[in-house]
Amino acid sequence: MKQEEMRSLLDVSVEAVEYVQGVLARGEEDSAIAEIMDHLRRIAEVFEAEYSGATGLLQKVYLYARNIQASVDELRRDPSLFTRIFSLEIRPFVLEMNRLWRLDADVLSDARQWRAHQQELMQSMTALHQAPRKNYPYEVSIILLAYNKLEYTKAAVESLFAHTDFSSGRVELITINNGSDDGTREYFERLPHTKKVNLKYNVLAINAHQYIVEGRYVVGFSNDIIATPHWLDHLLVAMESDARIACAVPTCNEGGISNDQGIPVSYPNTFEGVEPMQAFAAAHNHLNPALWEDRCLLMPFLSIIRTDICRMGGIDPIYTRAEFVDDDLSTLLRRTGWRQLLLKDTFMHHFGGVTLGEGRRKGAGNALDEMRRVYYEKWGVDAWDSRGSFIAVEDVWKWHAFRAGERVLILEPRFGDFACGLVNEYRRSGFAPHMTAAVFDERYLPDTDYLFDVTVTAAGIEDVAAEGGRYDVISAGCYLDELPLKDVIADLEHLYSLLAEDGMLLLPVRNPSSAYELDHVMNKGMRDVYGLENEVKSYRSFSYRHLLRALYAHPYLHRYQVHSIMFREDEPLVERMKPLLRSDEDVPSDLEVSLSIRMFFLGIFKENA
């Protein structure tokens, strides 16, 4: 069928569901509704036939078409459920099917339209900072999503009712049975809430709930989560603490989440561990804003997000395999000036991989590689290489005594993970630093407003100045060899001149002779940097031995300290490389150790005059 005919059918479908919704809202009766439902089902049959075997967004269009038919059949079997099934299933499914189809046909098919669409979304997200907040019937809408694993669903529901105050009327619960066949639907039907959504066919990363939520905030609550004391109260306090906060995520057991968002626990990750877990959570969950962390990226096993942002289309459906959805949303929020918080004072348990894992296992191929490329093509930078993060940085914060009123300069912060860590360390110490970003790669210029007080652009290190005064800490969100250096020592001298007395210059330094780096160079011809097949990228490197020798002999840069980072996973590679080492007398005595050190932190300290 021609595209314009499909478009016309969607126009008819949307007009039909909005007409019926209006009839229901006015409490009227209309004999034409039964015929309208028949027409909607036949249109859904057309879309099912047209997009059977489709991939990407059109696969979701196909699945929504199948679910529309199933929901129409269900209300025919039980007309007493008409209002519920139509309002919570048929209408949202039609609206989402329409949105996805038009996105595929009108936006993704044309590069100019796609850029215009993205620009419009970012402008709307930015404008939202100044828009008046709307009134909502509820404070929070909790979306409980389940796809099989009924035993986990029951545990999640029991904990939710035990630790959430539904009696206040501030919170609504919406359950979504996403194609389960293990009794989940029947279990949800026995629960006392009213908003219950059933899909006969599983839709990965479903977003149709945006049409039915009525809370000021939306909480995504998967069926592999266990609620704990005060969880929702804490999330709400955090969200209300600053109008620039878009979303917040609690912490959980470290085995249940990545991105350094979890904390160590002693209880087992089993149903038997739930009771000691609740005791742990009761002792842990005490409101403490000093333990809130600004993050450039959040992996939300559970999150609370503003509903107006949720409805704006922040969840991009082009990530059809579910991977990198979180990276994409975090990028959109960062680049439109929104903060994202990790609440280390609020603990919940996450079994991990139960809800999404079931759906992901149905896909073929490498979803990570496929969706990483989608992100790269959309934003022009890599989701992983651009984070600006370094492991074990918390070990070197003790090199500097944080004080009130300090000024911090971050060179090339990129997404800002390193900078966020520094801000959070100041917060834990009871202080708030003045943050300045110096951006050299203008692709990252939009990534600073959410965190930094001042942003400057520069072509080289020599162009960086002391904006408003000298800095107590100068650091970088990338390796030293990734900065636009002309003369390494001269550039370090310039940065040193920008330091206040007792200031610290802290720089991550890559070891190009580590086994990790050498392995990539030998096998791939270059450093471990992401790029597409047709991209040619270059890189620079310099000897850390020569750097340290030069600093040691320098008249004032000699006050330095290093903290080396080794990875246990590199040990087998180091052993395989040892036989390749030269055996003559010119081999440095620390060569084997050098193979093990991927990078180190270099701290240079300025004495009092």
pLDDT category of residue 585 using cuts at 50, 70 and 90: low
Least confident of 22-31, 535-544, 593-602: 535-544
197 vs 77: CA distance, rounded Å: 16
Asked whether residue 117 is assigned to any structural domain, the reply reads no
C-alpha 501, offset from chain centre: 38
Lowest mean pLDDT among 41-45, 48-52, 529-533, 574-578: 529-533
Pair 87, 142 in one domain: no
Q: Are 169 and 68 in the same domain?
A: no
Q: Is residue 231 part of a domain?
A: yes
pLDDT digits (tens, 9 = 90+) for 426-472: 999 999 999 999 999 999 999 999 999 999 999 999 999 998 899 99
Judge if 361 and 503 occupy the same domain: no
Domain shared by 363 and 509, yes or no: no
Check residue 591 and give its pLDDT: 75
Quote the percentage of the chain above a pLDDT of 90: 83
d(CA 446, CA 76): 52
Beta bridge partners, 344, equal none
492 plus 556 within the same structural domain: yes
Residue 245 lies in a domain: yes
Name the residue range of residue 283's domain.
Answer: 132-378
DSSP state of 609: -
- Mean pLDDT lowest among 57-61, 329-333, 359-363: 359-363
Domain boundary among 378, 401, 418: 378
pLDDT band at 570 (very low <50, low <70, confident <90, very high): very high
Q: How far apart are CA 372 and CA 559, in angstroms?
A: 42
Same domain, 535 and 594: yes
SS3 505: strand
pLDDT at 332: 96
User: Does residue 363 surpass a pLDDT of 60?
Assistant: no
Owner of token pair 């960086």: 464
Read off the CATH number of the domain in which 449 is found.
3.40.50.150
User: What pLDDT is recorded for position 157?
Assistant: 98
Do 327 and 467 fall into the same domain? no
Lowest-confidence region among 31-35, 161-165, 202-206: 202-206
The pLDDT of residue 564 is above 60: yes
Quick check: is 283 in a domain?
yes
Burial label for 22, CB within 10 Å (0-12, 13-18, 19+), is: exposed
Confidence (pTM): 0.92
Residues 142 and 281 in one domain: yes
CATH number at residue 146: 3.90.550.10
pLDDT higher for 565 or 467?
565
| Residue 220 pLDDT > 90 | yes
The pLDDT-based confidence of 584 (bands split at 50, 70, 90) is low
448's tokens: 């600073």
Whether 48 is covered by a domain: the verdict is yes
Question: Binning pLDDT at 50, 70 and 90, where does residue 38 land?
Answer: very high
Structure confidence at residue 365 (pLDDT)? 60
**Residue 383 falls within a domain, yes or no?**
no
Question: Do 267 and 180 have their domain in common?
Answer: yes
The verdict on residue 385 lying in a domain is no
Q: What pLDDT is attached to residue 213?
A: 97
Higher per-residue confidence, 395 vs 362: 395
The model's pLDDT over 520-541, given as tens digits with 9 standing for 90+, comes to: 888 888 888 888 888 888 888 8
Q: Are residues 403 and 374 in the same domain?
A: no
Q: Say yes or no: 363 and 512 in one domain.
A: no
Q: Which of 345, 378, 411 is the last residue of a domain?
A: 378
Residue 122 lies inside a defined structural domain of this protein: no
Distance separating alpha carbons of residues 555 and 489, to the nearest angstrom: 12
Cα torsion angle, 229, 230, 234, 240, sign: positive
Say whether both 441 and 372 belong to one domain: no
Q: Is the pLDDT of residue 357 over 70?
A: no
**pLDDT > 90? residue 138:** yes
Please check the confidence at residue 362 and state whether its pLDDT lies above 90: no
What's residue 535's pLDDT? 83
Average pLDDT, the chain: 93
Domain count, the chain: 3
With pLDDT > 70 as the criterion, what percentage of the chain qualifies? 96
Nearest to 177 by CA among 162, 167, 190, 158: 190
What are 323-348's pLDDT values in tens digits?
Answer: 899 999 999 999 999 999 999 999 99
pLDDT, residue 360, reads: 47
Residue 560 pLDDT level (bands cut at 50, 70, 90): very high
Q: For the segment 113-135, what is each residue's pLDDT rounded down to a tens digit? A: 988 999 999 999 999 999 999 99
Domain end point (choices 313, 345, 378): 378
For range 514-524, the mean pLDDT: 89
